[in-house]
Structure 1
Amino acid sequence: MKKFNDQIPPEIESFLTELNKNPQPPQETLSVNERREGYLYIRSWAGESESVYKIEDVLIQTNGRNIKVRAYIPTKETVPILIYFHGGIFALGDLETHDIPLRSLANASNCIILAVDYRRAPEFKFPAPLEDAWEVLNWSAENGSSLGGDTTRIGVGGDSAGGNIATVLSRWSRDKKGPNIKLQVLIYPMLDALGSSKSFQDYDEGYFMTSKGLLSGYDYYLTESDDRKHEDISPFWSKDLSRLPPAFILTAQFDPLRDEGETYALKLREAGTDAFNIRYSGMIHGFFQFGDIIPQGKTAIEETASILRMFLY
């Protein structure tokens, strides 16, 4: 059994030890459907489902397809909007996997959370999720008031692969002169399809999400001809990070993605974009969704909510 780092807190060590009692095949060796079923199971780790003032599913019709968006509306008052893209390595997550934490985030932030059911890999390859994100952003700027949203105060965010989508969308909106985005919320984002950082090697296995498991998401998402350093695939390698919305980047100490998120925050600051990073000591990838078994998950939701109130109010 893996000997855990001395800095691992007891609740994380207990969690990982319990997982190790029933070892599973490597994630990347499973079928997409098997991995989706497993990912949906972790919803049970999120805790109790909070009541929200109103939850409404909306279908956005565009270019011959429908994009489903779930609106978590915390109040009858007019409030800011956060467009949120779920994680799951571009292939596994959906509206249900993230339902419980987003209910809590809507209530704690007093913002409308628009959760986007974007097209997933491998059925839909790059850039399908980005195209869906762009359509939802423009719809929100034009129609968000119908849900009680203040369309002058829009943020974008997401965890893991969703953080990738959110930050690419921010640059698209800058370059295409799209809606004004007030804030990026990037929760342990996937930013480098090459997995070139030191933490990608240091925490490659044994800490719940493996480096190979993460890279397999890019395998689902991309074709062999796609350039993995393209800025729409790997925002980490973007050449111009100036004039972007302020960014809040949350990272976890024992996450393969830690270094790319923290270095990206530094690159944003060097380009003149406001960016700040909070590293959660002792935490692992995914903990934002594990609030029932890892208390810091709930703390992270509260802290993210405070950032939303700070920048969108």
Structure 2
Amino acid sequence: MAEKTPATENPETPATTARKITATAYGEPSEVLEVAEVEIPRARRGTVVVQVRAAGLNPYDVKVVRGQMGTKEENLPLSLGGEAAGVVHAAGADSGFRVGDEVVVYPASGALAEYVSSSADNVHSKPAGLGFDVASSVLLAGVAAIDTLATLSISEDDVLLVHGGSGSVGSIVVSEALASGAKVIATASPRNHEHLSRLGAIPVAYGEGLAEAIDAARGDQAVTAVIDTVGSDEAIDVSLQLVKPHRIVSLAAFGRSGDGIVVLDGSSEQSKHFRRSAIEPLLEDAAAKRITVEIARRFGFDDAAEAFEELAGSHPRGKLIFNPRA
């Protein structure tokens, strides 16, 4: 009897399974990440299944794998990846999308995969001219950036100090603040000062002499607000010398909330409103290159653990991108 050809090798038979990165336990990515074969999701009413072209890798993903966001055994295996861009593979009734639409999924769950399923509420049309790599990596950082700016109501009347101005969130804070007419001073390592200058900010080096460097950068204008993406005591201590605590917003200094600064984690109703309202404008700004997202490196299934290790350490400026076709 002749052997049957496996269904997956028959071009007329659609694939029913696909690859997905999961963590089988909590721990170091190199030890717990694996590529699983899972069923391709089916679209149901109000949901969309997207074939992923690119997904953004974020420090939050590393924290989830290491158990820093909780270690509930019932959540294993972990589905990873919070933002993606791709093409609609299947669309349920009342979803508002059609097969073939180019879209961005945010917030997403399990985006480090060949296919991701999402509520249609979290699927957004990708503007023409916006590449999949950038589209997949602008929103998670971008909505946090807009939340900080909106919380402080930054305008042309402000001199804004941004701690960590060359990072994924900080770069968007800098660009959007400058677009509002504010003067921006941004801290970063010296190797990123040219990048900040190109954006239009005044760069200063963090570390010894930070307060004096900020004084020199601001000239005869007083700093009126601070956005912190770093969370270091140095950043907060210097900021408290410059402005009142309620004019300091941090995305990272959770241990300093007792000083009266505003610490944002996205959970308040105000933050949720600011972040949700920012999605479409951010995509349009990225498409028009009013904000830029640098891509540092691309990874695939074979080097996913390496990507997580690089993400956890000191990596080049820019976003790390997962490409399921790599």
Larger Rg: 2
When normalised by structure 1's length, the TM-score is 0.32
TM-score by length of 2: 0.31
The structure with the largest strand share of the pair is: 2
Q: Which has the higher helix share?
A: 1
